[in-house]
């Protein structure tokens, strides 16, 4: 599974030490909302991680491309270890419910008696 770090200077440095692919703000600015480049980026990686300083700028820098692909980055703070966040991301399964406005779930516990 390929993960890409969209980070500030500190996270880029950590990603480089781990051998993780990364992009800084300058690299994201070069994409300039180019739909083809953003789509290519989304296809290249299974998941994205982003620094809290950059995550707010991503829609402005890349447009809706990553969101449409269902690969909007997961937030990484400076208090967290990048390696543990990468492992957590790799072990997380994301699924999207399409056009389901209401979902019914039966709730109960073992001490409840069965009805007639």
**What's the CATH code of the domain at 26?**
3.40.50.790
**Is 100 within the bounds of a domain?**
no
* Count of alpha carbons within 13 angstroms of residue 113, beta-carbon side: 2
Per-residue pLDDT of the chain (116 residues; tens, 9 = 90+): 888 888 888 888 888 888 888 888 888 888 877 788 888 888 888 888 888 888 888 888 888 877 877 788 888 888 888 888 888 887 876 666 666 566 566 677 777 676 65
**Residue 38 falls within a domain, yes or no?**
yes
Residue 116 in domain? no
pLDDT at residue 74, rounded to an integer: 84
Number of domains in the chain: 1
Q: Please state the pTM of the whole predicted model.
A: 0.70
Q: What is the pLDDT of residue 103?
A: 58
For residue 21, is it within any domain?
yes
Does 112 reside within a domain?
Answer: no
Question: Which pLDDT score, from 0 to 100, does residue 14 have?
Answer: 86
Which pair of tokens denotes residue 30? 């070069």
Please give the residue range of the domain that contains residue 44: 3-90
């Amino acid at each position: 599974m390929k993960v890409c770090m969209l980070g500030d200077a500190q996270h880029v440095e950590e990603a480089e030490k781990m051998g993780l692919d990364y992009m800084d703000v300058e690299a994201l600015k070069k994409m300039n909302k180019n739909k083809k480049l953003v789509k290519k980026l989304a296809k290249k990686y299974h998941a994205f991680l982003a620094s809290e300083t950059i995550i707010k700028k991503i829609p402005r820098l890349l447009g809706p491309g990553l969101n449409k692909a269902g690969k909007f980055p997961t937030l990484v703070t400076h208090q967290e270890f990048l390696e543990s966040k990468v492992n957590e991301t790799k072990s997380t399964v994301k699924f999207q419910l399409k056009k389901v406005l209401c979902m019914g779930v039966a709730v109960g516990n073992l001490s409840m008696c069965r009805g007639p």
